Amino acid sequence: MAATPPKPAAATPRRKVSRHRGEGQWAAGHFTPLNGNEQTKKDDDGLNVRTRIETIYSKRGFDSIDPGDLRGRMRWWGLYTQRRQGIDGGKTAILEPEELDDRYFMLRVRIDGGALTTAQLRVVGEISQEFARGTADITDRQNVQYHWIRIEDVPEIWNRLEGVGLSTVTACGDTPRVMIASPVAGIAEDEIIDGTPALEEMKRRVLNNPAYSNLPRKFKTAISGSPVQDVVHEINDVAFVGVEHPEHGPGFDLWVGGGLSTNPKLGVRLNAWVPIDDVPDVYEGVISIFRDYGYRRLRNRARLKFLVADWGAEKFRQVLEDEYLKRKLTDGPAPAEPSSRWRDHIGVHRQKDGRYYVGFAPRVGRVDGTILTKVADLAEAHGSGRVRTTVEQKMIVLDVEEGRVDSLVESLEALDLSARPSTFRRGTMACTGIEFCKLAIVETKARGASLIDELERRLPDFDEPLTINLNGCPNACARIQTADIGLKGQLMLDEHGEQVEGYQVHLGGALGLEAGFGRKVRGLKVTAQELPDYVERVLKRFQAEREDGER
């Protein structure tokens, strides 16, 4: 592969950065790759792997794939190898990465804003049935993920997705990932401002654009003008949160530097109010700061949150204004408290046009191609042409006339998709886990689903808003740090000294009004088998001892 020079930092002259000279920042002149990932990106832009997939790998098969592409650049088009079947969690840390690789892929379809037409949803469902053994998980970033994808089928899958305006571009990799947005943008009766025009412009500017295809690490974006604050804005690299400015009217409050995984951090406000027309410029400024000043030496210090933590909000805003926007931002107020404890839009809600939207809950985001196709059919049969996915692994059908709402709710219920779910079904999320994820140590999806069933049976009257999030490893794909009960998968010894699957427990995390990370309960681990008993005990005790209004 031809080596390409590193992309220049932004065209503006750079200030001298004396601190962190060893962090590999391009803006400080550090273009020599300091680790293998940076070298791979310098050798060839990840976006270029698409041509090789179309012309070589899909024709010659899995064994023809260049290792640098297989473990690196394929991500720029949403592809990861899935975990080889039958390898238990104990082997995750001791086997070489290639020993964990299956010859099949996970393929992530980016669904910015969770917005799908029923025609798009039907194609997503059909691809699942035809090429992915029926798999199609709704993720906690509004994407859909397939498994069991063969490299031979990828070009045809792209054809079909792109035929209806969907894409897998930069769904993974060190890139601008899917942009999450309020799933009820433009329709909710209580909306402060509709961020959709800004979202569309941000996509137009950065997707498939080589100027933003080599970032230090992933870059997560959120925008919502909903008063329930429904995009987990606190844990994104950049977030725009709807707010009413006392003089200038509705716009967005700017947050930067949130993120979970190692060293979780909540985003910080820059105390800036951004009118909707300026959101794309500000977005491009923030992502450019990340590209130019982001740390590239160590992968685990490469997210924007580390730069923000070192600089602080004031300096970050000043660099954004002086070097990138060339203008001052307007000071603005903090967003109001979220208007609801649940931020998921489950149930039946009136739209601003007098029609209704219906949010419903699969279990832990697990659906399949057949179900998705049926949801598209049902939506259309009830006069709707639009659905949305949410960051809680749930779905919404939009634009339903009042007289058809009950019929839709009943029809969804018949598919085991409840618009009136229990607290447990509503509030439980799980990451991919050991079924397909190479980093996983324990099972998550099936365990989350069975935990829901058990808790529904044992605590039928529990109706307090509650979140239970399960991760299959120490990473944070299911946001365990921000859940009321966060469960981090690990291996442990049971009472007989046998190694079994279990979870480290984190209690009391939250987003929204009382945002904060759950406390790791020192030494508290629970085996998978004991999990329902443990959660039942915690909840019964909470019910018995809570004070008025206590979460």
Is residue 487 within 8 Å of residue 85, measured between CB atoms?
A: no
Q: Can you count the helices (H) and strands (E) in the chain?
A: 15, 21
Binds ligand SF4 by CB under 6 A, chosen from 47, 400, 437, 487: 437
Q: How many residues bind ligand SF4 (CB under 6 A)?
A: 11
Q: Cβ 105 to ligand SF4, closest distance in Å?
A: 15
Secondary structure E strands in 40-161: 79-83, 101-109, 115-117, 135-138, 144-149
Q: Cβ 439 to ligand SF4, closest distance in Å?
A: 4
User: Any contact of residue 78 with ligand SF4 (CB under 6 A)?
Assistant: no
Q: Cβ 469 to ligand SF4, closest distance in Å?
A: 10
Is residue 212 within 8 Å of residue 294, measured between CB atoms?
A: no
**Dist CA 107 CA 465 (whole Å):** 33
Q: Cβ 261 to ligand SF4, closest distance in Å?
A: 9
Neighbours of 402 (CB within 10 A): 11
Query: CB under 6 A: which stretch of 195-203, 217-225, 361-369, 466-474 binds ligand SF4?
Result: 466-474
Nearest to 481 by CA among 510, 451, 522, 441: 510
Choose between 296 and 438: whose C-beta lies nearer to ligand SF4. 438
Neighbours of 400 (CB within 10 A): 22
Binds ligand SF4 by CB under 6 A, chosen from 280, 294, 433, 512: 433
**Dist CA 201 CA 234 (whole Å):** 22
**Dist CA 380 CA 75 (whole Å):** 34
Alpha-helix runs per DSSP H in 471-524:
none
User: Any contact of residue 124 with ligand SF4 (CB under 6 A)?
Assistant: no
Binding mask of the shown chain, residues 409 to 428, with x at each position contacting ligand SF4 by CB under 6 A: --------------------
User: Any contact of residue 254 with ligand SF4 (CB under 6 A)?
Assistant: no
User: Any contact of residue 397 with ligand SF4 (CB under 6 A)?
Assistant: no
**Dist CA 315 CA 522 (whole Å):** 36
User: Any contact of residue 448 with ligand SF4 (CB under 6 A)?
Assistant: no
Crossing angle for the helix pair 531-545 and 445-458, to the nearest 10 degrees: 50
Query: CB under 6 A: which stretch of 53-61, 210-218, 468-476, 529-537 binds ligand SF4?
Result: 468-476
Nearest to 393 by CA among 157, 147, 138: 138
Choose between 384 and 527: whose C-beta lies nearer to ligand SF4. 527
- Beta pairing class for 176-181 and 219-224: parallel
Nearest to 316 by CA among 261, 252, 272: 272
User: Any contact of residue 432 with ligand SF4 (CB under 6 A)?
Assistant: yes
- Beta pairing class for 366-368 and 176-181: unpaired
Query: CB under 6 A: which stretch of 181-189, 266-274, 285-293, 469-477 binds ligand SF4?
Result: 469-477
Q: Cβ 478 to ligand SF4, closest distance in Å?
A: 6
Residue with the two structure tokens 């060190």: 174
Site for ligand SF4 in 471-490 (CB under 6 A): 471-473, 475, 477
Residue with the two structure tokens 């009004």: 513
Choose between 181 and 440: whose C-beta lies nearer to ligand SF4. 440
Q: Cβ 517 to ligand SF4, closest distance in Å?
A: 16
Secondary structure E strands in 1-89: 79-83
User: Any contact of residue 107 with ligand SF4 (CB under 6 A)?
Assistant: no
Q: Cβ 423 to ligand SF4, closest distance in Å?
A: 23
User: Any contact of residue 431 with ligand SF4 (CB under 6 A)?
Assistant: yes
Based on its alpha-carbon atoms, the radius of gyration of the chain, rounded to whole angstroms, reads 23
Q: Cβ 328 to ligand SF4, closest distance in Å?
A: 40
Alpha-helix runs per DSSP H in 176-293:
196-206, 279-293
Choose between 439 and 483: whose C-beta lies nearer to ligand SF4. 439
Q: Cβ 504 to ligand SF4, closest distance in Å?
A: 13
Choose between 307 and 431: whose C-beta lies nearer to ligand SF4. 431
Q: Contact residues for ligand SF4 (CB under 6 A)? A: 431-433, 437, 439-440, 471-473, 475, 477
